[in-house]
Protein backbone atom coordinates (compact mmCIF):
# COMPACT_ATOMS: atom_id res chain seq x y z
CA UNK A 1 0.00 0.00 0.00
CA UNK A 2 1.14 3.53 -0.61
CA UNK A 3 -1.74 5.74 0.44
CA UNK A 4 -1.14 9.13 2.00
CA UNK A 5 0.02 9.63 5.57
CA UNK A 6 -2.79 11.24 7.56
CA UNK A 7 -1.46 13.85 9.97
CA UNK A 8 -4.00 14.83 12.65
CA UNK A 9 -3.22 17.80 14.87
CA UNK A 10 -4.51 20.79 16.76
CA UNK A 11 -2.90 24.14 15.94
CA UNK A 12 -2.49 24.77 19.67
CA UNK A 13 -0.38 21.65 20.21
CA UNK A 14 3.40 22.15 20.58
CA UNK A 15 4.08 18.50 19.77
CA UNK A 16 1.78 18.94 16.77
CA UNK A 17 3.92 21.88 15.68
CA UNK A 18 7.16 19.95 16.06
CA UNK A 19 5.75 17.07 14.05
CA UNK A 20 4.55 19.52 11.39
CA UNK A 21 8.14 20.69 10.92
CA UNK A 22 9.40 17.26 9.86
CA UNK A 23 6.41 15.22 8.70
CA UNK A 24 6.49 16.36 5.07
CA UNK A 25 10.13 15.38 4.69
CA UNK A 26 9.29 12.04 6.28
CA UNK A 27 6.58 11.48 3.68
CA UNK A 28 8.88 12.53 0.85
CA UNK A 29 11.58 10.07 1.90
CA UNK A 30 9.06 7.29 1.38
CA UNK A 31 7.11 8.59 -1.58
CA UNK A 32 4.00 9.32 0.45
CA UNK A 33 1.80 12.37 0.43
CA UNK A 34 0.98 13.84 3.80
CA UNK A 35 -2.58 15.05 4.34
CA UNK A 36 -2.82 17.61 7.12
CA UNK A 37 -6.00 17.27 9.17
CA UNK A 38 -6.69 19.84 11.89
CA UNK A 39 -9.05 18.61 14.59
CA UNK A 40 -10.46 19.94 17.86
CA UNK A 41 -8.21 18.35 20.41
CA UNK A 42 -10.59 19.35 23.21
CA UNK A 43 -13.16 16.92 21.81
CA UNK A 44 -10.57 14.17 21.59
CA UNK A 45 -9.59 14.89 25.21
CA UNK A 46 -13.24 14.60 26.25
CA UNK A 47 -13.51 11.25 24.48
CA UNK A 48 -10.28 9.87 25.95
CA UNK A 49 -10.27 11.50 29.38
CA UNK A 50 -6.96 13.20 28.62
CA UNK A 51 -6.03 16.65 29.86
CA UNK A 52 -3.96 19.47 28.41
CA UNK A 53 -0.31 18.95 29.38
CA UNK A 54 0.40 22.35 30.84
CA UNK A 55 -1.16 22.59 34.27
CA UNK A 56 -0.63 18.90 35.02
CA UNK A 57 1.64 18.38 38.02
CA UNK A 58 5.12 17.13 37.07
CA UNK A 59 4.15 16.31 33.48
CA UNK A 60 3.43 19.96 32.74
CA UNK A 61 6.89 21.13 33.79
CA UNK A 62 8.47 18.19 31.97
CA UNK A 63 6.62 19.07 28.78
CA UNK A 64 7.69 22.70 28.80
CA UNK A 65 11.31 21.59 29.17
CA UNK A 66 10.87 18.89 26.55
CA UNK A 67 9.48 21.32 23.96
CA UNK A 68 12.50 23.56 24.39
CA UNK A 69 15.01 20.76 23.97
CA UNK A 70 13.09 19.28 21.04
CA UNK A 71 13.24 22.68 19.32
CA UNK A 72 17.01 22.81 19.88
CA UNK A 73 17.52 19.22 18.71
CA UNK A 74 15.44 19.56 15.56
CA UNK A 75 16.60 23.14 15.05
CA UNK A 76 13.16 24.61 14.56
CA UNK A 77 12.17 28.11 15.68
CA UNK A 78 10.03 27.92 18.81
CA UNK A 79 8.95 29.79 21.85
CA UNK A 80 6.05 28.90 24.13
CA UNK A 81 3.37 31.35 22.98
CA UNK A 82 1.36 33.62 25.22
CA UNK A 83 -1.58 33.07 25.40
CA UNK A 84 -1.27 29.30 25.48
CA UNK A 85 -3.18 27.15 24.82
CA UNK A 86 -5.69 28.82 22.51
CA UNK A 87 -8.93 27.85 20.78
CA UNK A 88 -8.01 27.10 17.19
CA UNK A 89 -11.45 26.89 15.62
CA UNK A 90 -10.96 29.74 13.13
CA UNK A 91 -7.74 28.54 11.46
CA UNK A 92 -8.96 24.93 11.56
CA UNK A 93 -12.19 25.76 9.74
CA UNK A 94 -10.29 27.90 7.23
CA UNK A 95 -7.90 25.02 6.55
CA UNK A 96 -10.73 22.61 5.77
CA UNK A 97 -12.33 25.25 3.54
CA UNK A 98 -9.12 25.81 1.60
CA UNK A 99 -8.57 22.07 1.25
CA UNK A 100 -11.88 21.76 -0.55
CA UNK A 101 -10.69 23.78 -3.52
CA UNK A 102 -6.90 23.65 -3.28
CA UNK A 103 -5.15 21.12 -1.00
CA UNK A 104 -1.75 22.74 -1.65
CA UNK A 105 -3.02 26.10 -0.50
CA UNK A 106 -4.55 24.49 2.60
CA UNK A 107 -1.22 22.85 3.33
CA UNK A 108 0.70 26.11 2.95
CA UNK A 109 -1.84 27.85 5.16
CA UNK A 110 -1.63 25.24 7.90
CA UNK A 111 2.18 25.48 7.89
CA UNK A 112 1.91 29.24 8.11
CA UNK A 113 -0.53 29.08 11.04
CA UNK A 114 1.74 26.78 13.04
CA UNK A 115 4.74 28.97 12.31
CA UNK A 116 2.91 32.18 13.20
CA UNK A 117 1.85 30.80 16.56
CA UNK A 118 4.91 28.87 17.72
CA UNK A 119 7.73 30.75 16.01
CA UNK A 120 6.34 34.29 15.97
CA UNK A 121 3.96 34.24 18.94
CA UNK A 122 1.03 35.53 16.92
CA UNK A 123 -2.34 34.64 18.44
CA UNK A 124 -3.87 32.68 15.56
CA UNK A 125 -7.11 32.19 17.48
CA UNK A 126 -7.90 35.81 16.59
CA UNK A 127 -9.75 36.30 13.34
CA UNK A 128 -7.51 39.11 12.01
CA UNK A 129 -4.42 36.89 12.37
CA UNK A 130 -6.14 33.81 10.98
CA UNK A 131 -7.46 35.68 7.95
CA UNK A 132 -4.26 37.65 7.30
CA UNK A 133 -2.42 34.35 7.06
CA UNK A 134 -5.02 33.10 4.58
CA UNK A 135 -4.56 36.24 2.50
CA UNK A 136 -0.79 35.74 2.56
CA UNK A 137 -1.42 32.31 1.01
CA UNK A 138 -3.47 33.84 -1.77
CA UNK A 139 -6.98 33.35 -0.38
CA UNK A 140 -9.58 36.06 0.09
CA UNK A 141 -9.44 37.42 3.65
CA UNK A 142 -13.10 38.38 3.67
CA UNK A 143 -14.18 34.94 2.53
CA UNK A 144 -11.91 33.34 5.11
CA UNK A 145 -13.51 35.46 7.84
CA UNK A 146 -16.97 34.40 6.68
CA UNK A 147 -15.92 30.74 6.66
CA UNK A 148 -14.69 30.95 10.26
CA UNK A 149 -18.22 31.88 11.36
CA UNK A 150 -20.13 29.73 8.87
CA UNK A 151 -22.25 26.93 10.44
CA UNK A 152 -21.41 24.68 7.51
CA UNK A 153 -17.66 24.87 8.18
CA UNK A 154 -18.19 24.62 11.93
CA UNK A 155 -20.05 21.41 11.15
CA UNK A 156 -17.30 20.18 8.85
CA UNK A 157 -14.63 20.60 11.52
CA UNK A 158 -16.88 18.81 14.01
CA UNK A 159 -17.41 15.93 11.59
CA UNK A 160 -13.70 15.59 10.82
CA UNK A 161 -12.95 15.57 14.54
CA UNK A 162 -15.64 12.98 15.29
CA UNK A 163 -14.48 10.80 12.40
CA UNK A 164 -10.90 10.94 13.69
CA UNK A 165 -11.96 10.02 17.22
CA UNK A 166 -14.06 7.16 15.84
CA UNK A 167 -10.86 5.85 14.24
CA UNK A 168 -9.02 6.02 17.54
CA UNK A 169 -7.35 9.43 17.41
CA UNK A 170 -6.96 10.83 20.92
CA UNK A 171 -4.02 13.23 20.81
CA UNK A 172 -1.96 15.64 18.75
CA UNK A 173 -0.01 14.85 16.69
CA UNK A 174 -1.54 11.56 15.62
CA UNK A 175 -0.54 9.82 12.39
CA UNK A 176 -2.31 7.11 10.45
CA UNK A 177 -0.24 5.12 7.97
CA UNK A 178 -2.06 2.38 6.08
CA UNK A 179 -4.57 2.39 8.92
CA UNK A 180 -1.85 1.93 11.56
CA UNK A 181 -2.08 4.51 14.38
CA UNK A 182 0.93 6.39 15.77
CA UNK A 183 0.57 8.90 18.59
CA UNK A 184 3.05 11.62 19.39
CA UNK A 185 5.96 13.56 17.95
CA UNK A 186 8.20 11.14 19.86
CA UNK A 187 6.87 8.31 17.71
CA UNK A 188 7.92 9.63 14.33
CA UNK A 189 10.95 7.30 14.45
CA UNK A 190 8.46 4.43 14.55
CA UNK A 191 6.48 5.80 11.62
CA UNK A 192 9.76 5.95 9.72
CA UNK A 193 10.50 2.33 10.60
CA UNK A 194 6.99 1.34 9.55
CA UNK A 195 7.40 3.03 6.17
CA UNK A 196 10.86 1.58 5.61
CA UNK A 197 9.72 -1.97 6.27
CA UNK A 198 6.17 -1.70 4.99
CA UNK A 199 4.99 -2.64 8.46
CA UNK A 200 6.12 -5.58 10.57
CA UNK B 1 29.94 14.16 32.98
CA UNK B 2 29.73 10.40 32.81
CA UNK B 3 27.62 9.37 35.79
CA UNK B 4 25.30 6.39 35.60
CA UNK B 5 21.99 6.39 33.78
CA UNK B 6 19.20 6.13 36.32
CA UNK B 7 16.41 3.87 35.10
CA UNK B 8 13.17 4.27 37.07
CA UNK B 9 10.37 1.79 36.47
CA UNK B 10 7.53 -0.24 37.92
CA UNK B 11 7.65 -3.99 37.35
CA UNK B 12 4.02 -3.87 36.21
CA UNK B 13 4.73 -1.42 33.38
CA UNK B 14 4.91 -2.87 29.85
CA UNK B 15 6.80 0.17 28.57
CA UNK B 16 9.12 -0.27 31.55
CA UNK B 17 9.70 -3.86 30.46
CA UNK B 18 10.44 -2.88 26.86
CA UNK B 19 12.89 -0.24 28.03
CA UNK B 20 14.51 -2.78 30.35
CA UNK B 21 15.23 -5.00 27.34
CA UNK B 22 17.43 -2.40 25.63
CA UNK B 23 18.57 0.09 28.26
CA UNK B 24 21.70 -1.81 29.31
CA UNK B 25 22.95 -2.01 25.72
CA UNK B 26 22.24 1.71 25.39
CA UNK B 27 24.37 2.40 28.44
CA UNK B 28 27.16 0.14 27.18
CA UNK B 29 27.32 1.91 23.83
CA UNK B 30 28.14 5.10 25.69
CA UNK B 31 30.25 3.76 28.54
CA UNK B 32 27.60 4.40 31.15
CA UNK B 33 26.40 2.18 33.94
CA UNK B 34 22.65 1.80 34.25
CA UNK B 35 21.19 1.79 37.75
CA UNK B 36 17.81 0.09 37.89
CA UNK B 37 15.42 1.76 40.34
CA UNK B 38 12.02 0.18 40.92
CA UNK B 39 9.42 2.60 42.24
CA UNK B 40 5.73 2.48 43.09
CA UNK B 41 4.12 3.91 39.99
CA UNK B 42 0.79 4.27 41.80
CA UNK B 43 2.36 6.95 44.01
CA UNK B 44 3.78 8.73 40.97
CA UNK B 45 0.34 8.60 39.36
CA UNK B 46 -1.19 10.12 42.48
CA UNK B 47 1.35 12.94 42.40
CA UNK B 48 0.92 13.63 38.69
CA UNK B 49 -2.78 12.88 38.23
CA UNK B 50 -1.96 10.19 35.66
CA UNK B 51 -3.95 7.00 35.29
CA UNK B 52 -3.01 3.46 34.32
CA UNK B 53 -3.16 3.15 30.52
CA UNK B 54 -5.37 0.10 30.28
CA UNK B 55 -8.95 1.09 30.97
CA UNK B 56 -8.53 4.55 29.47
CA UNK B 57 -10.84 5.06 26.49
CA UNK B 58 -9.00 5.06 23.14
CA UNK B 59 -5.55 5.27 24.73
CA UNK B 60 -6.01 1.90 26.42
CA UNK B 61 -6.71 0.08 23.15
CA UNK B 62 -3.90 1.97 21.44
CA UNK B 63 -1.44 0.95 24.15
CA UNK B 64 -2.30 -2.72 23.95
CA UNK B 65 -1.71 -2.62 20.19
CA UNK B 66 1.44 -0.57 20.64
CA UNK B 67 2.97 -3.04 23.11
CA UNK B 68 2.45 -5.88 20.66
CA UNK B 69 4.05 -4.06 17.75
CA UNK B 70 6.92 -2.80 19.94
CA UNK B 71 7.61 -6.40 20.96
CA UNK B 72 7.70 -7.46 17.31
CA UNK B 73 9.89 -4.52 16.29
CA UNK B 74 12.42 -4.95 19.09
CA UNK B 75 12.11 -8.74 18.93
CA UNK B 76 11.58 -9.26 22.63
CA UNK B 77 9.36 -11.98 24.07
CA UNK B 78 6.11 -10.52 25.30
CA UNK B 79 2.50 -11.25 26.02
CA UNK B 80 0.11 -9.11 28.02
CA UNK B 81 0.05 -10.89 31.38
CA UNK B 82 -3.04 -11.94 33.26
CA UNK B 83 -3.57 -10.57 35.87
CA UNK B 84 -2.53 -7.12 34.71
CA UNK B 85 -1.64 -4.73 36.18
CA UNK B 86 -0.35 -6.09 39.47
CA UNK B 87 1.01 -4.67 42.72
CA UNK B 88 4.77 -5.04 42.55
CA UNK B 89 5.71 -4.23 46.13
CA UNK B 90 7.35 -7.57 46.90
CA UNK B 91 9.82 -7.73 43.98
CA UNK B 92 10.53 -4.00 44.30
CA UNK B 93 11.45 -4.28 47.97
CA UNK B 94 13.56 -7.38 47.26
CA UNK B 95 15.42 -5.52 44.50
CA UNK B 96 16.35 -2.66 46.84
CA UNK B 97 17.44 -5.15 49.46
CA UNK B 98 19.66 -7.03 47.01
CA UNK B 99 21.13 -3.76 45.72
CA UNK B 100 22.36 -2.95 49.23
CA UNK B 101 24.82 -5.85 49.27
CA UNK B 102 25.26 -6.73 45.58
CA UNK B 103 24.12 -4.37 42.83
CA UNK B 104 24.87 -6.97 40.13
CA UNK B 105 22.62 -9.48 41.81
CA UNK B 106 19.88 -6.86 42.16
CA UNK B 107 20.22 -6.10 38.48
CA UNK B 108 20.00 -9.77 37.49
CA UNK B 109 17.00 -10.18 39.77
CA UNK B 110 15.16 -7.18 38.31
CA UNK B 111 15.74 -8.46 34.77
CA UNK B 112 14.44 -11.88 35.83
CA UNK B 113 11.31 -10.37 37.39
CA UNK B 114 10.45 -8.41 34.25
CA UNK B 115 11.03 -11.47 32.09
CA UNK B 116 8.99 -13.75 34.34
CA UNK B 117 6.02 -11.40 34.22
CA UNK B 118 5.99 -10.19 30.62
CA UNK B 119 7.55 -13.12 28.79
CA UNK B 120 6.36 -16.04 30.92
CA UNK B 121 3.16 -14.68 32.44
CA UNK B 122 4.22 -15.51 36.00
CA UNK B 123 2.46 -13.38 38.60
CA UNK B 124 5.45 -11.78 40.30
CA UNK B 125 3.23 -9.98 42.78
CA UNK B 126 2.91 -13.33 44.56
CA UNK B 127 5.54 -14.01 47.18
CA UNK B 128 6.39 -17.57 46.04
CA UNK B 129 7.20 -16.28 42.53
CA UNK B 130 9.08 -13.21 43.79
CA UNK B 131 11.20 -15.26 46.17
CA UNK B 132 11.80 -18.15 43.74
CA UNK B 133 13.27 -15.64 41.31
CA UNK B 134 15.52 -14.31 44.08
CA UNK B 135 16.67 -17.84 44.85
CA UNK B 136 17.42 -18.42 41.17
CA UNK B 137 19.72 -15.38 41.36
CA UNK B 138 21.58 -16.87 44.31
CA UNK B 139 19.79 -15.11 47.16
CA UNK B 140 18.14 -16.78 50.11
CA UNK B 141 14.44 -17.29 49.44
CA UNK B 142 13.50 -17.16 53.12
CA UNK B 143 15.36 -13.91 53.63
CA UNK B 144 13.75 -12.48 50.51
CA UNK B 145 10.31 -13.38 51.85
CA UNK B 146 11.11 -11.68 55.15
CA UNK B 147 12.33 -8.58 53.34
CA UNK B 148 9.08 -8.32 51.37
CA UNK B 149 7.17 -7.93 54.65
CA UNK B 150 9.80 -5.95 56.56
CA UNK B 151 8.74 -2.40 57.56
CA UNK B 152 12.29 -1.19 56.94
CA UNK B 153 12.25 -2.27 53.30
CA UNK B 154 8.68 -1.03 52.85
CA UNK B 155 9.99 2.29 54.07
CA UNK B 156 12.99 2.17 51.74
CA UNK B 157 10.80 1.63 48.68
CA UNK B 158 8.56 4.49 49.81
CA UNK B 159 11.57 6.75 50.23
CA UNK B 160 13.03 5.88 46.83
CA UNK B 161 9.65 6.52 45.23
CA UNK B 162 9.20 9.85 47.01
CA UNK B 163 12.74 10.91 46.11
CA UNK B 164 12.09 10.06 42.45
CA UNK B 165 8.83 12.02 42.40
CA UNK B 166 10.57 14.96 44.07
CA UNK B 167 13.00 14.92 41.14
CA UNK B 168 10.15 14.99 38.63
CA UNK B 169 9.61 11.30 37.88
CA UNK B 170 5.95 10.69 36.99
CA UNK B 171 5.90 7.60 34.77
CA UNK B 172 7.53 4.30 33.86
CA UNK B 173 10.02 4.05 32.33
CA UNK B 174 11.70 7.29 33.29
CA UNK B 175 15.40 7.91 32.73
CA UNK B 176 17.69 10.50 34.24
CA UNK B 177 20.94 11.22 32.43
CA UNK B 178 23.19 13.84 33.97
CA UNK B 179 20.07 15.17 35.66
CA UNK B 180 18.17 15.44 32.37
CA UNK B 181 14.74 13.74 32.51
CA UNK B 182 13.42 11.46 29.76
CA UNK B 183 10.00 9.85 29.97
CA UNK B 184 8.90 6.79 28.06
CA UNK B 185 10.21 3.84 26.11
CA UNK B 186 9.49 5.90 22.99
CA UNK B 187 12.07 8.43 24.12
CA UNK B 188 15.08 6.14 24.23
CA UNK B 189 16.13 7.50 20.82
CA UNK B 190 16.40 10.90 22.50
CA UNK B 191 18.46 9.51 25.37
CA UNK B 192 20.77 8.01 22.76
CA UNK B 193 21.07 11.39 21.03
CA UNK B 194 21.75 13.06 24.37
CA UNK B 195 24.53 10.61 25.17
CA UNK B 196 26.06 10.87 21.69
CA UNK B 197 26.22 14.64 21.82
CA UNK B 198 26.76 15.10 25.51
CA UNK B 199 23.54 17.09 25.60
CA UNK B 200 22.55 19.99 23.39
pLDDT tens digits, one per residue of A102-156: 999 999 999 999 999 999 999 999 999 999 999 999 999 999 999 999 999 999 9
- What ipTM does this complex have? 0.93
pLDDT at A52: 83
Stretch (H or E) spanning A41? helix A41-48
What average pLDDT does the segment B178-183 reach? 96
Determine the distance in angstroms separating the CA of B61 from the nearest CA of chain A, rounded to an integer: 8
Compare CB distances from B57 to A48, A59, A200 and report the shortest one's residue.
Answer: A48
Q: Do A183 and B62 touch (CB under 8 A)?
A: yes
Nearest residue of A to residue B44 by CA position? A58
Q: If you ran DSSP here, which 8-state letter would residue B37 be given?
A: E
Checking if the pLDDT of B133 tops 70, the result is: yes
Checking if the pLDDT of A42 tops 80, the result is: yes
Which residue out of A54, A62, A64, A194 would a mutagenesis test of the B interface target, given it has the greatest number of B Cβ atoms within 10 Å? Answer: A62
What average pLDDT does the segment A169-189 reach? 96
Burial of residue A134, with CB atoms counted within 10 A of its CB: 0-12 exposed, 13-18 middle, 19 or more buried? buried
For position B183, which CATH number holds?
Answer: 3.40.30.10
User: B18-47 burial by CB neighbour count: b if 16+ within 10 A, else e?
Assistant: bbbbebbebbeeeebebbbbbbbbbbbbeb
Boundaries of domain holding B131: 5-197
Q: Which residue has the higher pLDDT, A48 or A4?
A: A4
The number of residues making up chain B comes to: 200
Checking if the pLDDT of A1 tops 60, the result is: no
Residue B1: pLDDT band by 50, 70, 90 thresholds?
Answer: low
Checking if the pLDDT of B60 tops 80, the result is: yes
Rounded to the nearest angstrom, the gap between the alpha carbon of residue B163 and the centroid of all alpha carbons in its chain is 16
Single out the residue of A45, A37, A48 nearest to residue A164, CA to CA: A37
Compare CB distances from B47 to A57, A193, A200 and report the shortest one's residue.
Answer: A57
The mean pLDDT value of chain B amounts to 96
A1: contact with B, CB 8 A cutoff: no
A140: contact with B, CB 8 A cutoff: no
Alpha helix stretches (DSSP H) within chain B: 14-29, 41-48, 59-74, 89-101, 103-118, 127-136, 141-149, 151-166, 188-197
pLDDT tens digits, one per residue of B73-126: 999 999 999 999 999 999 999 999 999 999 999 999 999 999 999 999 999 999
Rounded CA-CA distance A181/B80 in Å is 19
What average pLDDT does the segment A66-76 reach? 97
Tally of structural domains, chain B: 1
A168: contact with B, CB 8 A cutoff: yes
Q: How many CA atoms lie within 13 A of B75 on its CB side?
A: 0
pLDDT-above-70 percentage for chain B: 100
Checking if the pLDDT of B177 tops 80, the result is: yes
pLDDT at B51: 81
Q: Do A186 and B184 touch (CB under 8 A)?
A: yes
Checking if the pLDDT of A178 tops 70, the result is: yes
A186: chain B residues, CB-CB within 8 Å: 184, 186-187, 189-190
Checking if the pLDDT of A8 tops 70, the result is: yes
| Whole-number Cα distances in Å, A54 to A57, B37, B164, B180 | 8, 27, 21, 19
**Number of C-beta neighbours around residue A67 at 10 A:** 21
Determine the distance in angstroms separating the CA of B75 from the nearest CA of chain A, rounded to an integer: 11
Q: Do A47 and B65 touch (CB under 8 A)?
A: no
pLDDT at A50: 81
B170: chain A residues, CB-CB within 8 Å: 57-59, 62
Rounded CA-CA distance A112/A106 in Å is 10
Non-local CB neighbours of A179 within 8 Å, separated by 6+ positions = none
Compare CB distances from A57 to B48, B187, B189 and report the shortest one's residue.
Answer: B48
B44: chain A residues, CB-CB within 8 Å: 58
Q: Which residue has the higher pLDDT, A42 or B174?
A: B174
Which is it for strands A5-9 and A34-38: parallel, antiparallel or unpaired?
Answer: parallel
3-class DSSP state for residue A182?
Answer: strand
A65: chain B residues, CB-CB within 8 Å: 181
Rounded CA-CA distance B48/B162 in Å is 12
Rounded to the nearest angstrom, the gap between the alpha carbon of residue A89 and the centroid of all alpha carbons in its chain is 12
What stretches of chain A adopt beta strand conformation (E)? 5-9, 34-38, 174-177, 180-183
Residue A47: pLDDT band by 50, 70, 90 thresholds?
Answer: confident
Amino acid sequence: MSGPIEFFFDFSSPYGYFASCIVDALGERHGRDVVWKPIMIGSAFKASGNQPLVGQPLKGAYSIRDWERLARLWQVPYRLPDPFPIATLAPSRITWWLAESDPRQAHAYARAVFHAYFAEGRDVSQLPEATALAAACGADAGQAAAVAADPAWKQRLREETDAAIARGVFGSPFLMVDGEPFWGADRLWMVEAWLERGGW
